[in-house]
Amino acid sequence: MNIILKTVSKQDHKFLYDLLKERNEKINISHKKMPTFKNHEKFVMSKPYKKWYIIMNEKEKVGSIYLSKFNEIGIFLKKNIRGQGIGQKSLEMIVEKNPEKRYLANINPQNHKSIKFFKNNNFKIIQYTYELIKNK
C-alpha cells in the first residue's frame, strides 16, 4: 500500500462522478439524487471545500477525501478496496496535512460501517441532527 493524497483537478471530474454513482442513500446525507455531469462539474469547480483530494494507491485513483470550511471530513472509497486500511491511512494523512484543533464527521446513523470506522479512529459522538422536509 502506498497512499498519496492529490489535490482534485479538472482531470478528476469523471472519476469523482463515477464515485458518486457508487453512493447509496444510507451513505448519503447531502446528495439524494444523482446530479447531471454538467452540474457535478460546476459543483467541483465551485471549490465547495477547503481541501479536496483524490486518494491514490500505487498510482491508482481509489477514492476521495475532503475537509470542509467547518473542518468536517468526508471520505469515500471505491467498494473494491475497502477494509484494507486505506481509509484509516487517508484520514491520518488529511489530519497531518491540515492541522486543526477539532474535526467533525457527519454520518448517516444507518451507515454502521462508517460509524465504526470513525469511532475506531477516536471520533466521539456529540449530537444527533434531525431534519424536517416540507414540500412547498
Ligand X SMILES: CC(C)(COP(=O)(O)OP(=O)(O)OC[C@H]1O[C@@H](n2cnc3c(N)ncnc32)[C@H](O)[C@@H]1OP(=O)(O)O)[C@@H](O)C(=O)NCCC(=O)NCCS
Position 84 contacts ligand X (CB under 6 A): yes
Provide the 3-class DSSP secondary structure of residue 132: coil
User: Do 27 and 112 form a contact (C-beta atoms < 8 A)?
Assistant: no
Write the interaction track for ligand X spanning residues 19-58; mark x where CB under 6 A is met and - where it is not. Answer: --------x-------------------------------
Does residue 77 touch ligand X according to CB under 6 A?
Answer: yes
Our CB check for ligand X shows the closer of 94 and 107 to be: 107
Based on C-alpha coordinates, what's the Rg of the chain?
A: 15
Report the alpha-carbon distance of residue 41 to residue 38 in Å, rounded: 5
- Residue 13 burial by CB count (10 A; 0-12/13-18/19+): exposed, middle or buried? middle
**Segment lying near ligand X (by CB under 6 A), choices 39-47, 95-103, 108-116, 127-135:** 108-116
For ligand X, the binding residue among 113, 122, 123, 130 (CB under 6 A) is: 113
Q: Is the alpha carbon torsion for 24, 115, 60, 38 positive or negative?
A: positive
Q: Read off the C-alpha cell for 19.
A: 464515485
User: Which residue in 68, 82, 93, 95 binds ligand X (CB under 6 A)?
Assistant: 82
Tell me the residue nearest to ligand X as measured from the CB.
Answer: 87
For residue 1, give the nearest of 63, 76, 65, 81 by alpha carbon. 81
Per CB under 6 A, does 115 bind ligand X? no
Q: Which of 9, 11, 110, 120 binds ligand X (CB under 6 A)?
A: 120
Q: Return residues touching ligand X (CB under 6 A).
A: 27, 74-77, 82-88, 105, 107, 111, 113-114, 116-117, 120
